[in-house]
Structure 1
Amino acid sequence: MTERRSFKWPALLTSTGRGIAFGGDYNPDQWPDEVIDDDIRLMREAHVNTVALAIFSWDRIEPREGEFTFDWLDMVIDKLGAAGIAVDLASATATAPIWLYDKHPEVLPVDRYGHIVNAGSRQSWQPTSPVFKEYALRLCRAMAERYANNSYVTAWHMGNEYGWNNRYDYSDNALHAFRSWCKDKYGTIEQLNDAWGTAFWSQHVNSFEEVLLPRHMGGDAMVNPAQQLDYERFGNDMLLDFYKAERDAIEKICPGKPFTTNFMVSTDQCAMDYAKWANEVDFVSNDHYFHEGESHLDELACSDALMDSLALGKPWYVMEHSTSAVQWKPLNMRKRHGELVRDALAHVAMGADAINFFQWRQSSSGAEAFHSAMVPHAGEDSKVFRGVCELGAVLEALSDAGLQGTELEHADTAILFSAESEWATRCQTLPSMKLSHWHDVRDWYRGLLDVGRRADVVPLAYDWSQYKIIILPTVLALPDVDTRRIADFAQTGGTVIIGYATGLVDERFHVGLGGYPGAGNGLLRQMLGIRSEEFNVLGSEAEDEPAGITLSNGMTTRLWQNDVTSTAPDTQIITTYQGPAAADWELDGTPAITTHSYGAGKAIYIGCDLDRQDIAHLVGLLSDALPLPSDQTAADSSQTCDARILHTVRRSTDGAVRFDCYLNRSKQPVEITGIHGEPVVAYRCESVAKGTYAIMRNGVLIMRSER
């Protein structure tokens, strides 16, 4: 396993170098120079103390090949630094200048149909192109040489959202690199043939030079799923290698300053295997954009729970989010009153020590002109900018209270996330193409919140042995080594909850034989005490068929039911399929959810899909079978537990100071009692009596207490 880089947090230009970082992407090259002084005036008014600079500025820095113009950037950095605003300086390679594409069109990516991905947007380059890498690294070295000793530059920001437009490249450069990657992974062609199951459809290859990319093969052609999964891994690794090359080029000249790049984690996207990427940054950063609708806050918290795990519990950085609407979704909803501040404080409550927006000043032209910003088109006399100023003051108060550097307390339940299983669920050859591992993680996260339990979201590859409960929702591709870890966790007293489509294949996309789930050569079945023979898949595509099947406890499954044909003598059946639809599918009385003792622990099997409400119902039914939650978020037993409140605790590393954060998940005011400490933030809150607060819609209460 790759050794992780040491945690290193960027300093601010405060007297101590500490404080919650607050600001956003700053793009002064979009505006005339005279706007800069006005920007800095407004930044000071809004309590901005950091900006990300030069992310999209390659053509301004190098307007013609080899001709570098740094005077304008020097001026901007000097003005910002003199105003006490630190700079997170980008490598500026996210968007290449048109002259480079004009001279070297061979650097452009190729899609799976063989079409060239043309220039004009972001990241229109091949991660495996030696020509592009030469130009990018030359720019990185020029940037490092110019700003290595600039005290106002306190961090380096590599690229931007790696993989946004070039996650999948099918160029000849990619083909050659994929062959080398496969050779490094498998060593011999016999090992690759075995892993890919090439005996099927006459796909045997005699050498690594015969290995192909999974390009377009015809209208209804089905790609070898093992080949496709390896291609996903390859694409992740090639972009990670490119990031490391940029980082290393700058670090060789400018050592000592922290490096990061912005991940893209929300429950609608998680393009990379960020469990790998997190090893290669000095502090973890994320771009998160809210999901419209009633899941807004819960989805944010679920994504942040994964970010906190990727950061190994250390503070992490919100590099981008939005003050209000974006412009790239089918439905671009604005934020309601209070949500600008509430969302930012929710990130803080989930472990973030930096709150940044895209972008500082809303563009007047270009593709993101209607993307909201800190200074909107309406200018400083606007609700949005007043909200930005209000947020800056709140974050400064939290900094003064000592919140920066405290860490989020862990829950006792871990929902395990696997980027490889998310990729695998997109395969076009599964029993159902409606599976989504990440969405099932989100539904479990929300279902637990609905019964007053908070979970962490932890990468499968990480250490989760300290938890009491682990949940594996649709962890489709489960390697034997991880199946063994899960069994050992249960053996030593842990509680394991296995979802309906977990462990169907291993990391090579090979199906385990002998019945489902087949992971670990039958070890997962043994632990669960069940055996399933077939999948029953429902869908609206089948006319005059049931839309769902009820369970004997009143829940409903609508997509997938496992036909459990045998159980161990000591397996306890929690609920069965029941009713006319179950009888129609010959499932009436078949076990749907079971529990089985395994060593000192317990294995619970969820043999069908459940929605968020039924997950909450089930957790309530299983309360006697689940370990009691640790008293991690209550100052004493008088603390009110209300599922409408998201409650987290951040604590200093010595345990002397704690911050209790309360956020209203509902649309109605919620009154909470038994509150201890002194209020640092009471946003949209009212003190009703001593220790009792009413938290309004979009309200946040943050209390500070000392041991």
Structure 2
Amino acid sequence: MPGSTPRGLTGLAFGGDYNPEQWPEHVWQEDVRLMREAGVTMVSVGIFSWALLEPAPGTYDFGWLDRVIDLLHANGVRVDLGTPTVVPPAWFYQAHPEALPVTADGVRLAFGSRGAICHSNSDYRAAAAAITTKLAERYAGHPALALWHVHNEYGVPVSACYCDGCADHFRRWLRTTYGTIDAVNDAWGTAFWGQRYAGFEQITPPRRTPTVGNPAQALDYRRFADAIMRENFVMERDILHRLSPGVPVTTNFMTALSQCDSVDYWAWGREVDLVTNDHYLITDGRRTHVNLAMAADLTRSVAGGAPWLLLEHSTSGVNWQPRNPAKAPGQMARNSLGHVARGSEGAMFFQWRQSRRGAEKFHSSMVPHGGTDTRVWREVVELGASVGALSEIRGTRTVADVAVLWDWQSWWAQNLDWRPSEDADPRERADAFYEVLYDRHLTVDFARPEADLSAYPLVVVPALYLMTEAAGANLRRYVEQGGTLVVSYFSGIVDEHDAVHEGPYPGALRDVLGLTVEEFSPLLQGETVRLTGPDGSELCGDVWTEFVVPRGAEPVWTYADGLTAGRPAVTRHRLGEGTAWYVSTRLGHEGLDAVLGWAAEDAGVDPRADLPRDVEVVRRTGEQGTYLFAVNHTGTDTKVPLETAGTELLTGERAAGHLAVPAGGVRVVRLDG
């Protein structure tokens, strides 16, 4: 049921993780009263409750959960019901200590946190299946049930285990994947350093070695670890599908590139009925709203463009960063409605009531420690009204202008040891290119390298070190048929086994780019190079340079100094009906903007010069019409031009010619026609 929506929810989802087990029952009545006041439509329940639901092996206590769900239903609140398999009880680990994960250094982690799971462990799998079955049998027919929520944030904090059980499972996975030991040896290049295996029984996980181990083995182990987590999700999902037909099943992703790098969300997006995501701002001095927009666009793309759901974010500060500032007044609404603009079917939080105990007691919530006489609570109530006013957009889809190619497995491969420069960070390049596109007011779809790209006039490749021959052929076809492609350095270098493509760099991309690279020439920390353009303009690069040889491409910017002085730095290759650009150094915002400006002209993508910086304008469209979202992240009132008049949904006012958006505010217009 890909693209499903929560059962029985007629508007957008608004609410959060509800953990009533942390509070005496007399508080529950107060909770539901406040939920009605805030306009809450759905809450997530039971995610961390295994120890309470099964206090001893095979002994179940559902009484308290019955009362909670009945109470929520009586007050008009839908339930996203969790399977609590992210935190097995203490009694389980006492009986099965081998279910605790082992690090690559051979250290077995201890119980006392969350997510301490060896996903290969058969006892864990059996216990998880049992509690999931009991929950499904009991609550499948409950009228409050809107959604099943399996586990919690797979891959956080532990994705891979290196125990002997995982070694056995890894060997089985390799047999299934490769068939023969010769195929494994070939894929891993085990002739290097005498690593050849005579049989599967000789293979172990990539545990700690005296120096760098086999990178292809390490890459496959990341694939394996991701696959077995997904196997466990599918096991629970299939139980729920069988016993609770018609109720969508999800698990909460963390697609923000800075928060989870161990999960291939392209693969996971095909397994859930509804893509959901958790997003928390990384407050490191950068423009947090840009990363938020990027995460939302990436999540929508994982969902295949279908509506998705923001299942967790924070009302204000979080508690796990070195410094955890509060959100500014109005920022909660901007963050929430910014996600809605980019396809989310609502805005959910962690959590409803702020905990008094435990590791996350200083994490903000919808009901803070200070209660209802607080700024946060007043903003929650105001936001609930806004989300309620946007119910009619449900089912519409966000409209994108350009595509950015991204691949988690390429990220894994590039971040393995002994690459030419540890400063060449694929995530940093993705952030940098996205920020320039954001500042050009272009809405981005992310896409797999082998996806159909024909709908996009401009496709950007910030970092794809690992690229299959099929992906390279796909990009060539895209350009030949009229597309405009922009590729950054160190892309197209290796195949799916981390083997360098035969022939000159950049391997899978040399034909479409019309060039070869003789040699990489990374820069030392702090070093920079100057680039000169045809109009006398100068750009500045750092981290990386290359000895580029045009093979049909024309130089546009040239290195003015350094080892590569006089060589092409930025090139353009006209191929068929389209154009491919190549950027062989790390450019800052100004430099990337200059290059993408030229590429956008080639693509016929018009800049939105009429929009101020940090005012984002995004459209959602569907059978019910077109909706324009304007999110003002500045401290100044602004006006957004309107081609068509319409009705502003949050105020009920008519707008024509332009839309007035107050400082720090959000406006949503249903356009006429």
Report the TM range for the smaller structure's normalisation: over 0.9
Q: Which runs of 5+ in 2 are unaligned?
A: none
Corresponding position of 2:244? 254
Residues 147-186 of structure 1: pairs in structure 2 closer than 5 A: 147-186=139-178
Does 1:107 pair with 2:99?
Answer: yes
Q: Secondary structure at the match of 1:439?
A: helix
Distance 1:531 1:663 in 2: 43
1:432 alignment counterpart? 421
**Which residue in the other structure is 1:510 paired with?**
499
- Say whether residues 1:679 and 2:648 are aligned partners: yes
Deviations, residues 231-275 of structure 1 (Å, cap 9, x unaligned) = 111111000000011111222221121000000111303331011
Post-superposition Cα deviations, 1:157-203, rounded to whole Å, max 9, x if no partner, equal: 00000111320110111111111111111111111111101011100
- Asked whether 1:530 is paired with 2:519, we answer no
Corresponding letter in the other structure for 2:135: M
Tell me the distance in 2 between the aligned counterparts of 1:506 and 1:126: 30
For residues 237 and 393 of structure 1, the distance between their equivalents in structure 2, rounded to whole angstroms, comes to 41
1:649 partnered with 2:615: no
Q: Distance in 1 between matches of 2:656 and 2:610?
A: 14
Q: SS of the residue aligned with 2:595? A: helix
Q: Matched residue of 2:538: which SS? A: coil
1:197 matched to which residue of 2? 189
Other structure's SS at 1:698 match: coil
Counterpart code for 1:548 = T
Distance 1:620 1:279 in 2: 35
Q: Tell me the amino acid that sits aligned with residue 561 of structure 1.
A: T
Asked if 2 retains the 8 angstrom alpha-carbon contact of 1:493 and 1:602, the reply is yes
- Consecutive unaligned residues of structure 1, counting only runs of 5 or more, are 541-545, 634-638
What value does the CA root-mean-square deviation take over the aligned residues?
A: 1.8
SS at match of 2:270: helix
Which of these residues, 349, 352, 358, is aligned with residue 350 of structure 2? 358
Distance 1:193 1:661, change over 3 A: same
The equivalent residue for 1:339 is 331
| Mapped partners of 2:302, 2:641: distance in 1 | 33
**Which amino acid is the alignment partner of residue 422 of structure 1?**
W
Report what 1:274 is aligned to.
265
CA distance in structure 1 between the partners assigned to 2:55 and 2:353 by the alignment: 23
- Compared with structure 1, are the counterparts of its residues 420 and 667 closer, same or farther at alpha carbon in structure 2 (3 Å cutoff)? farther
- Aligned partner of 2:586 in structure 1 is 609
1:13-412 mapped onto 2 (5 Å cutoff) = 17-218=9-210, 221-270=211-260, 271-292=262-283, 293-399=285-391, 402-411=392-401
Note if contact 1:127-1:166 (Cα within 8 Å) is conserved in structure 2.
no
Amino acid at match of 1:287: D
Q: Does 1:473 align with 2:462?
A: yes
Q: Is the 8 A contact 1:451 1:619 kept in 2?
A: no
Aligned ranges 1:456-495 → 2 under 5 Å:
456-495=445-484
> What fraction of aligned residue pairs are identical, expressed as a percent?
37
**CA deviation digits over 1:4-40, x for unaligned, max 9?**
x43221134xxxx410010000000001111000000
Indicate if the aligned counterparts of 1:261 and 1:281 stay in contact, CA closer than 8 A.
yes
Q: Distance in 2 between matches of 1:127 and 1:695?
A: 49
Partners of 1:298 and 1:665 within 8 A in 2: no
For residue 354 of structure 1, report the CA deviation from its aligned partner: 2.1
> SS of 1:681's equivalent?
coil
Among candidates 7, 12, 18, match of residue 11 of structure 1: 7
Q: Distance in 1 between matches of 2:301 and 2:659?
A: 31
The Cα of 1:514 is off from its aligned counterpart by 2.9
Decide whether the 8 Å contact of 2:650 with 2:667 is kept in 1: yes
Rounded Cα–Cα distance in structure 1 between residues aligned with 2:621 and 2:64: 43
- Residue 623 of structure 1 deviates from its aligned partner by 4.3
Residue identity matched to 2:455: Q
Matched residue type, 1:290:
L
| Residue of structure 2 in register with 1:543 after alignment | none
- Answering whether residue 566 of structure 2 is matched by residue 589 of structure 1, we say yes
Instruction: Return closer, same or farther for 1:50/1:489 CA change in 2, 3 Å cut-off.
Output: same
Mapped to 1, the partners of 2:134 and 2:598 lie a distance apart of 62
Alignment of 1:567 onto 2:567: no
Structure 2 equivalent of residue 598 of structure 1 = 575
The answer on whether the counterparts of 2:545 and 2:584 sit within 8 Å (CA) in structure 1 is yes
Tell me the TM-score normalized by structure 1.
0.91
1:404 alignment partner AA:
R
C-alpha deviation, 1:149, in angstroms: 1.0
Q: Distance in 2 between matches of 1:501 and 1:176?
A: 35
Q: Counterparts of 2:341 and 2:350 in 1: how far apart (Å)?
A: 21
- Match in the other structure for 1:450: 439
In structure 1, how many angstroms separate the alpha carbons of the residues matched to 2:173 and 2:427? Answer: 27
Q: Per-residue deviation at 1:380?
A: 1.0
Of 538, 553, 567, which aligns to 1:554?
538
Task: Name the SS for the 1:343 alignment partner.
Answer: helix
Distance 2:344 2:263 in 1: 21
Query: Residue 458 of structure 1: CA displacement?
Result: 2.0
8 Å contact kept, 1:111–1:170: yes
CA contact (8 A) 1:560 1:608 kept: yes
The worse-fitting range, judged by mean Cα deviation, of 587-596 and 466-475 is 466-475
CA distance in 1, matches of 2:380, 2:472: 47
SS at match of 2:494: coil
SS of residue in 1 equivalent to 2:601: coil
- Size of the alignment, in residue pairs? 666
Change (3 A) 1:456 1:389: same
